[in-house]
A and B are shown apart, each in its own frame.
Chain A
């Protein structure tokens, strides 16, 4: 076991763990944001640079700090390593600049974007972004493309995290989907506008951290925060059948895979479950999906809390007054 300290929290982790994984084991606010890393897809990470952290001490043997900030998603932990994330001003400043870079060519069309409310980039810029932009030039523009009958590619919004490329390469057999051109002209594309014709292709929607890949069967039907997520399952021959159905009243608006607290898919689901079963009778509804309190999606959901947890905000003040 290797010992690592991240923002003054010490934890023991097995060999081969990355700094980001160790931080996720500790949890809470010290977890660096990750836009391109996706633990279930091999080879992802290192590209977006939002997870950069400072290594103040490389290891027990080598007490020197690392010369540059490192990508926490791809740097393995060494015994005795000391990492600074939110405790380092340099890291926070750099993160701010990375968010600025990610946003200069992003259209910021959140009011008409289906991803709004569950968008990693939106959350990231809320936490680390600037309130104004220093970028005065035109933003890059691409035409919208339908890849297959169920998926819409909106390249303007893409931050080139490559997650969908890895998802298609690893979940499916055909390699018709990748990155064309280079530099800021790079674009996600399918081979000469091929559709991705595969029963697991819909997962690219779930792995996309922004609104670049959206579900055409849900486009412009509802804002996500007006729908209620419910855990549900069905008998499926191709996948586990475990999904989340997003309900508007008693109707199912869309189906997605179940995502954990880091917005990563727990189990990939097949296209049949995702696109073809929108009747309540198709699904066994388990109950409401637990949504993080800070998420806008939880806005219309009430949560029952235990009696003991209720704290009277004025109780202490009254007691103090009484003592006097």
Chain B
């Protein structure tokens, strides 16, 4: 049984209300932080904890915070990125819905550490229910004196604003999020300058994921060093993994980083193995934008070591035989899944969500989708697979923001590991046209 620090209390009935949350030790950490610690001590604890950004990139949070230290006087902002729109990832929604006060507590402690007096929570527009839950919890926190002027008599004041997105995936990119928050079109900004220098309203800003900010609470409660004992190597702490696909127990699980993928997939405590006794075909371990890995490479690295759920282990082997932890969207495909269809589906998503600002992403995502659509519906030609590899390579690294990379990686990796499926589609157009959901294994049955 892994240690749980974020979701240990979610099963208590009524934990989303402030009374129950307070009765179970809620807001005690906040009192400790505000009354006994200085902002720089909090930042120091976060640094010691080794916490890394849970939104996907895995950048050390303490380091991100310390970029603000030397900047000039005047307002500075903390922005919480709750624009969780990655296909396969649904952990932030879970956290906000089940235990909103944990996030609020984390926000207050983090704002205190950063010296921010206004904090914005940018919530994905589709999360109507969660926006309601969060807003209600914030009102409760105001009423209890944890928000507003002179919190707990310490002289620290903080206002939290909840902002609803309007349905664009790109607004989860931190600079596009800031543009959107300012009321502009959600186009990512050119970097540098980074948000730590010139962020919201041109002021120094830190943008963190929901899970990252929630994790600040156990870090302060336990102490950075104690928190760092959870996990493995540079991947410290716990991570929420949203597991979906053809598994017995889909859902959100809090795991200690360093748990083996095999255990996570097959143990009954977590995913509980594949449904209906099917065999594993592939897994996307970190949300749709990270490379897909075939079953043998996800359970063992290319060197034959056990693959662990950690930043380092999942990216072991680079993009040749590895992937990324990303935002923790664990998508499992069984033997019947069609990789071509899945790749087309992802590609369609990125085509739809590209902001259209820079040419490689605007034109390339659409082009890839059209070629994949052609292959999927039996109109592909022998050149198409190499064409896709070439387009993906030409988008990757040449765009303003990471959406270009996120669109290119799934396509490139699917072809790298499942080239035979693409070729099968091209070589057998008649079969492909007649069967709805298809994989080579199914064809063999259909043909024989």
Residues of A within 8 A of B (CB): 45-50, 52, 68-69, 71, 74, 94, 97-98, 100-102, 104-105, 134-135, 137, 159-160, 162, 178-179, 181-186
The answer to whether A102 and B363 touch across the interface, beta carbons within 8 angstroms, is yes
The answer to whether A97 and B190 touch across the interface, beta carbons within 8 angstroms, is no
Bound complex: CA A45 to CA B365 (Å): 21
Closest to A101 in B: B363
Seed contacts A47-B357, A49-B358; 15 additional CB < 8 Å A-B pairs: A47-B358, A71-B190, A94-B398, A97-B360, A97-B394, A101-B359, A101-B394, A102-B363, A179-B185, A179-B356, A182-B168, A183-B352, A183-B354, A183-B365, A186-B356
Chain B 127-162 near chain A by CB (<8 Å), digits 1 or 0? 000000000000000000000000000000000000
**A-B pairs, 10 with minimum CB distance:** A186-B356, A97-B394, A183-B354, A101-B363, A46-B190, A184-B366, A137-B370, A183-B356, A101-B359, A68-B397
The answer to whether B357 and A160 touch across the interface, beta carbons within 8 angstroms, is yes
Bound complex: CA A193 to CA B366 (Å): 27
With a CB–CB cut-off of 8 A, which chain A residues contact B370?
137
Total A-B residue contacts, Cβ distance less than 8 Å: 86
With a CB–CB cut-off of 8 A, which chain A residues contact B425?
none
Chain A contact surface mostly: loop
B362 at the interface (CB under 8 A from A): yes
Residue of B351, B354, B360, B363 touching A105 (CB-CB under 8 A)? B363
22 residue pairs A–B, Cβ–Cβ below 8 Å = A47-B357, A68-B397, A69-B397, A69-B398, A94-B394, A97-B360, A101-B363, A101-B364, A101-B367, A105-B363, A135-B367, A137-B367, A162-B357, A179-B356, A182-B356, A183-B354, A183-B362, A184-B351, A184-B362, A184-B365, A185-B356, A186-B356
Bound complex: CA A159 to CA B398 (Å): 17
With a CB–CB cut-off of 8 A, which chain B residues contact A135?
367
With a CB–CB cut-off of 8 A, which chain A residues contact B353?
182-183
Bound complex: CA A100 to CA B367 (Å): 11
With a CB–CB cut-off of 8 A, which chain A residues contact B398?
49, 52, 68-69, 94, 97-98
With a CB–CB cut-off of 8 A, which chain A residues contact B371?
137
With a CB–CB cut-off of 8 A, which chain B residues contact A104?
363, 367
With a CB–CB cut-off of 8 A, which chain A residues contact B364?
101
Residues of B within 8 A of A (CB): 168, 170, 185, 190, 351-360, 362-367, 370-371, 387, 390, 394, 397-400
Q: How far does the Cβ of B127 sit from chain A's closest Cβ, in whole Å?
A: 20
Residue of B170, B190, B360, B362 touching A74 (CB-CB under 8 A)? B190
Q: How far does the Cβ of A95 sit from chain B's closest Cβ, in whole Å?
A: 10
The answer to whether A182 and B394 touch across the interface, beta carbons within 8 angstroms, is no
With a CB–CB cut-off of 8 A, which chain A residues contact B354?
182-184
With a CB–CB cut-off of 8 A, which chain B residues contact A159?
359
With a CB–CB cut-off of 8 A, which chain B residues contact A47?
357-359, 400
The answer to whether B168 and A49 touch across the interface, beta carbons within 8 angstroms, is no
With a CB–CB cut-off of 8 A, which chain A residues contact B168?
182
With a CB–CB cut-off of 8 A, which chain B residues contact A94?
394, 398
Bound complex: CA A48 to CA B354 (Å): 14
Closest to B386 in A: A134
With a CB–CB cut-off of 8 A, which chain B residues contact A97?
360, 394, 398
With a CB–CB cut-off of 8 A, which chain A residues contact B365?
183-184
Closest to A97 in B: B394
Q: A137-B370, A182-B170, A184-B366 are in contact. Are A49 and B351 (CB under 8 A)?
A: no
Q: How far does the Cβ of A34 sit from chain B's closest Cβ, in whole Å?
A: 13
Bound complex: CA A100 to CA B168 (Å): 27
With a CB–CB cut-off of 8 A, which chain B residues contact A69?
397-398
With a CB–CB cut-off of 8 A, which chain B residues contact A186?
355-356, 362
With a CB–CB cut-off of 8 A, which chain A residues contact B363?
101-102, 104-105, 184
Closest to B359 in A: A101
Q: A69-B398, A101-B394 are in contact. Are A183 and B358 (CB under 8 A)?
A: no
Bound complex: CA A100 to CA B363 (Å): 9
With a CB–CB cut-off of 8 A, which chain A residues contact B358?
46-49
Closest to A186 in B: B356
With a CB–CB cut-off of 8 A, which chain A residues contact B357?
47, 160, 162
Q: How far does the Cβ of B57 sit from chain A's closest Cβ, in whole Å?
A: 14
